[in-house]
A and B are shown apart, each in its own frame.
Chain A
Amino acid sequence: MLFYLLMIGFAISAAAPFFYRRFRAFFGWIAVSFPLFLFFSFSSFYPRISAGEVLRETVFWVPSLGINLSFLLDGLSFTFVLIITLVGAAVFLYAGTYMKHYEHAARFFVYIGLFMTSMLGLVLSDNIAAMFVFWELTSISSFLLIGFSHHKEQSRKSAIQALLVTGGGGLALLAGLILLSGISGTMEISELYPQHAMIVSSPLYPAAALLVMIGAFTKSAQFPFHFWLPNAMEAPTPVSAYLHSATMVKAGIYLLARMNHVLGGTALWQDSLLVVGAVTMVCSALLAFNQMDLKKLLAYSTLSVLGTLTMMIGIGSRLAIKAFFIYLIAHSLYKGTLFLVAGTIDHAAGTRDAGVLGGLGRAMPFTMATAILASFSMMGVIPLVGFIGKETLYASILELEEWGRYLIAAAVVANGLLVMITLVAGIRPFFGSMRRLPSVPHEAPFAMLAGPACLAFFGLLAGLFPDFFMGAMLDRLASSVLADTLTFRIKLWHGFNEVLFLSFLTLLCGMLFYAARVKLLPYLEGRHIPPVLKPSSWYDAALAGMLKVARWQTRMLQNGSLRNYITIIVVTAVALGVSALAGSFSAFPEIPALDVTFYEVAIVSIILVSILVLITSSSRLKAVITLGVTGFSIGIIFILYGAPDLALTTFAIETLGVILFVLVLYRLPRFTSYSTTASRVRDAVIAFVFGIFMALMVLFTVSGELDSGLKRYFAGASLPEGKGRNIVNVILVDFRAIDTLGEITVLAVAAIGVFAMLKLALKGGSR
């Protein structure tokens, strides 16, 4: 069932252009049925999942290697599936209208459908190979979507940056997962769970854990890999709302949560996640301080939230997992909304510059209401779900004994900055006086309002009735992440306590930061962080260095000179061959007895002399003649040793060859020698070594007995099965007839090539 849902997803994505062409006017309403269909299909599992059941399904792929398309639907994947399809529904509907003015909008829906299905596959996969495939598919669809406006250089650059960073991390992840399956002997994630103790005590554990973390950090844009996410804002706004805030960037977080019980419980895992998460949470919120673009502001706040989620897994207590879950849901609901609102503002006012926007509320009342609802959730205002998220977050940090005091300060500052971002990006554009804008603002069409409004409203519902909407799922998710059966109660109101005080403090901080921002912005203009401190400039340097090495290597190895290639091939072949011979033969082969007749010696002498003449000849005609002599002599050897067919063919072909040569070479100028003496000596040495090696190889090969079953088979089967007495001929036209057909085809192709070159004039005329 799960497998078929995914396959249907890929099929529908591929069919998007077909529908788009026919139903362009109201395509959003058709597109939305796709995520909604998946949403309701998966929702039908809700009773079973909430009762604690775990659904499994396996479609065999390469069972001999343990690679299967096996799927797992438990609390953790179910939570993500619902987020992906629900936010997907809002985004698809919105994009149906928003993308109308873009070229190739049909392509957009192919990419985003591909993304949604891959993301579902990623969170559903139980097999690490299958999960990696889906993981990379989300990276690729993200690349395609960031670079959607591919005529803009900045888009292309950002797309490649995102692909290289997440793709590089993907390789690290693959290495980590392979190590993990090496340690445990299984490819199924669910089979890794019971082996936790063994995995953690393995000497390979630190490497595996670090590699998996790097994979997750690049995907979820944790410090120092955070820089690609703000640049990814080049993508159309529905993409930013969907991939780069609500879903794809949470894939890394998902992986950490999924692997928490496999790799977690050690100081390495918990501390790394805690530190990296906390650093990302604070730094990225600070980086937002002087941003002016609505989408960039929201992107930095997304980074901060991703850091917070990583930190929650790092803390790893029951309360922290509870906070993780609520924060995850709250963020997907409000951030998806705010991005879509930013897109609507851009659409209506023609700009996303926070410094210019203001007073849109009168023209866009419904958008304003939606934005305020989502903003309140993001700021953590009671009674929205964001409030519960933040309360639980603070409570879980306060539980920590050692680090609690510092972390709570960091969390309050970071969340204060988030409040500031919300005030700038979500609230401010609707109030104050309206300035001159590029276009006259107007209320968004219904299709662009419905999605964000629903998401914001869900945020309110989840805040008012948290236990009803999230209680059962939280229990199941916590069981997956902590591998323990737990039951939680989620409440909106916990009474007047320390945490509530911190919530007020956060709001207060946010307003202070907002006031400070207004005052400080003029001073910050034109000031930048020195490039040495910016990980993005490390990326640029690494990329430039890599290209330099690639260019150097191409110049060295692929310089277009035939001689160079052949030299490398010959030297490599000799080196490998010598080491192989030395490995498998201990003694020099017995030299076969030299029982020869005088005419054999004569033939061999003729061949050797003609080769010598050929090499040294300064006349082209002489060289052609010696070449013919060599060929004919080889034909005579074939006659002597029982191969008359070979001899006849050789004679025929040598004759033709000589004629062809003479015809073509007849009217050519002097036969020039171009090489220098030094290069001739060097080539002679290479050729000499290679010749000795090949001669030795012949001696080594014939030193053993050859028992050819094929020889006996052909001798016996030729007449009864092939109806022929000449066994060589029977092999060619009967036993290996297809091979001969291939040979004829090659000849035909060569003949066409010859004809084309001789008869057909080149385009533009030949000289």
Chain B
Amino acid sequence: MTLLLALVIGCLYAAGIFLILRRNMVKVIFGLILLAHAANLLIFTVGRLTKGIPAFVPEGSGMLTGRFADPLPQALILTAIVIGFGVQAFTIVLFKRTWLTLGTEDLDMMKTTDEPPKE
């Protein structure tokens, strides 16, 4: 499965970079989200995969031993997911505001801070 996940991570990064290089701002936001997914999966995979055994201390036992999924990368990813959502929400609304103010979603049209000439 590690091999397959490596493939998925590679594809997510490639697609994310490709989208973030677009001129359409919505696609840039899509790219941003894909990159967040890619990074989360990357951390998850390099922390080594353990199938089906979550890091729970079983009832009646003082500590967890044997084989179990590493809780630390999970904790890191959990933080990352939530912050990723914050960024996502912010960029989406930023896009909306930009659209309402400038009337374009083309990043190449947003090169200056000057007011466009009034027609």
A residues near B (Cβ < 8 Å) are: 560-563, 566-567, 570, 591-592, 594-596, 600-601, 604, 607-608, 611, 614-615, 620, 623, 627, 630-631, 634, 637-638, 640-646, 649-650, 653, 656-657, 660-661, 664-665, 668, 671-675, 683-684, 686-688, 690-692, 694-696, 698-699, 701-702, 706, 708, 710-711, 714-716, 718-720, 725-728, 731-732, 736, 739-740, 743, 746-747, 749-751, 753-754, 757-758, 762, 766-767
Chain B residues with CB below 8 A from A567, complex form: 21
Given A643-B44, A758-B93, CB of A747 within 8 Å of CB of B75: no
Would you give the 0/1 interface string for B1-14, flagging 1 where the beta carbon is closer than 8 Å to chain A?
11111111111111
Residues of B near A732 (CB, < 8 A) are: 75, 78-79
Chain A residues within 8 Å of B15, by CB: 611, 614-615, 687, 691
Decide: A698 and B75 in contact? CB cutoff 8 A: no
Least Cβ–Cβ distance between B52 and chain A, in angstroms? 6
Bound-state CA distance A371–B17 (Å) is 75
Q: Which residues of chain A are near B65, meaning CB under 8 Å?
A: 715
From B87, which residue of chain A is reached at the shortest CB distance?
Answer: A750
Q: A643-B44, A702-B46, A711-B70 are in contact. Are A686 and B17 (CB under 8 A)?
A: yes
How many angstroms from the CA of A661 to the CA of B13 in the assembled complex?
A: 21
A604 to B8, CA, bound (A): 7
- Taking a contact as CB atoms under 8 Å apart, the answer to whether A562 and B28 are in contact is yes
Q: Tell me the nearest residue of chain A to B64, going by C-beta.
A: A715
Given A562-B107, A683-B18, are A757 and B49 also a contact pair (CB < 8 Å)? Answer: no
Distance in angstroms from B70 CB to nearest chain A CB is: 5
B82 near A757 with CB under 8 A, answer no
Q: Which residues of A lie under 8 Å from residue B4 when comparing CB positions?
A: 594, 596, 600-601, 604
Once bound together, how far apart are the Cα atoms of A364 and B77, in whole Å?
Answer: 83
What residues of chain B lie closer than 8 Å to A699, measured between beta carbons? 2-3, 6
Contacts of A754 in B (CB 8 A): 89-90, 93
Contact B53 A566 (CB under 8 A): no
Cβ distance A89 to chain B, nearest Cβ, rounded Å: 53
Q: Which residues of B contact A620 (CB under 8 A)?
A: 26
Bound-complex Cα distance A683 to B14 (A): 10
Interface of B is mostly: helix
| Cβ–Cβ < 8 Å partners of B42 in chain A | 694, 698
Q: What 7 A-B pairs come out closest when comparing CB atoms?
A: A691-B14, A695-B10, A642-B69, A674-B23, A750-B86, A687-B18, A727-B71
Distance from A744 Cβ to chain B, minimum over Cβ atoms (Å): 9
Task: Name 13 extra pairs, CB < 8 A, besides A637-B5, A694-B42, A708-B70.
Answer: A601-B4, A627-B30, A627-B33, A638-B44, A641-B44, A664-B96, A672-B24, A683-B22, A684-B18, A687-B13, A691-B10, A749-B86, A753-B93
Contact residues in A for B96 (Cβ distance below 8 Å): 664, 757-758
Interface centre among B5, B26, B71, B105 (most CB of A within 10 A): B71
- A708 contacts B72, C-beta separation under 8 Å: yes
Known contacts being A594-B3, A664-B96, A665-B26, is A645 close to B90, with CB within 8 Å? no
| B44 contacts A642, C-beta separation under 8 Å | no
B1 near A715: Cβ-Cβ < 8 Å? no
A sample of 26 inter-chain contacts (CB < 8 A) reads A570-B17, A592-B2, A592-B3, A595-B1, A631-B37, A641-B69, A642-B53, A644-B54, A646-B74, A646-B81, A649-B78, A653-B84, A660-B88, A664-B93, A668-B99, A674-B24, A683-B18, A691-B10, A698-B10, A699-B2, A701-B46, A718-B57, A719-B57, A719-B63, A727-B57, A731-B75
Across chains A and B, the number of contacting residue pairs, with CB separation under 8 Å, is 278
Find the residue from A650, A686, A691, A753 having the highest chain B CB count within 10 A.
Answer: A691
Partner of A725, one of B17, B18, B19, B59: B59
Select from chain A the residue with minimum beta-carbon distance to B39. A694
Q: Which B residues lie at the A interface, using CB under 8 A? A: 1-24, 26, 28, 30, 33-34, 37-38, 40-42, 44-59, 62-65, 68-72, 74-75, 77-79, 81-90, 92-97, 99-101, 103, 105-108, 111
B79–chain A nearest beta-carbon distance, Å: 5
A646: which B residues are within 8 A, CB to CB?
40, 44, 74, 77-78, 81
Q: How far is the CA of A607 from the CA of B38 in the complex (A)?
A: 12
Whether B99 lies near A657 (C-beta < 8 A) is no
> Nearest chain-B residue to A742 (Cβ)?
B79
Min distance, Cβ B77 to any Cβ of chain A, angstroms? 6
- Tell me, in angstroms, the Cα distance from A183 to B102 when the chains sit together: 62
CA distance A234 to B110 in the complex (A): 44
Contact A694 B9, CB 8 Å, known A686-B17, A719-B63, A725-B56:
yes
B92→A664 contact, CB < 8 A: yes
- The CA of A631 and the CA of B6, in the complex, are separated in Å by 17
Q: Which chain A positions have C-beta within 8 A of B18?
A: 615, 683-684, 686-687
For the complex, give the distance between the alpha carbons of A657 and B88 in Å.
8
- Closest beta carbon of chain B to A670's beta carbon, Å: 10
Contact of A657 among B33, B64, B93, B100 (CB under 8 A): B33
Contacts of B28 in A (CB 8 A): 562
Among B37, B88, B105, point to the contact of A634 (Cβ < 8 A).
B37
Q: Which residues of B contact A739 (CB under 8 A)?
A: 79
Q: A695 contacts B9, CB within 8 Å?
A: yes
Minimum Cβ distance to chain B for residue A67 (Å): 37
Whether the pair A750, B24 counts as a contact (CB closer than 8 A) is no
- Please, which residue of chain A has its CB at the minimum distance from the CB of B36? A631
CB <8 Å contact, B45 and A698: yes
Bound CA–CA A749/B111 (angstroms): 26
User: Is B64's CB under 8 angstroms from A641's CB?
Assistant: no
Closest to A695 in B: B10
A767 near B70 with CB under 8 A, answer no
Question: Assuming the A-B contacts A596-B1, A671-B26, A732-B79, are A711 and B90 also in contact, with contact meaning beta carbons closer than 8 angstroms in the complex?
Answer: no
A747 and B83: CB pair below 8 A? yes
Contacts of B10 in A (CB 8 A): 691-692, 694-696, 698
What CA separation (Å) do A115 and B81 show in the bound complex?
A: 53
CB distance from B75 to the nearest CB of A (A): 4
Q: Shortest beta-carbon distance, A735 to chain B, in Å?
A: 8
CA distance A664 to B90 in the complex (A): 12
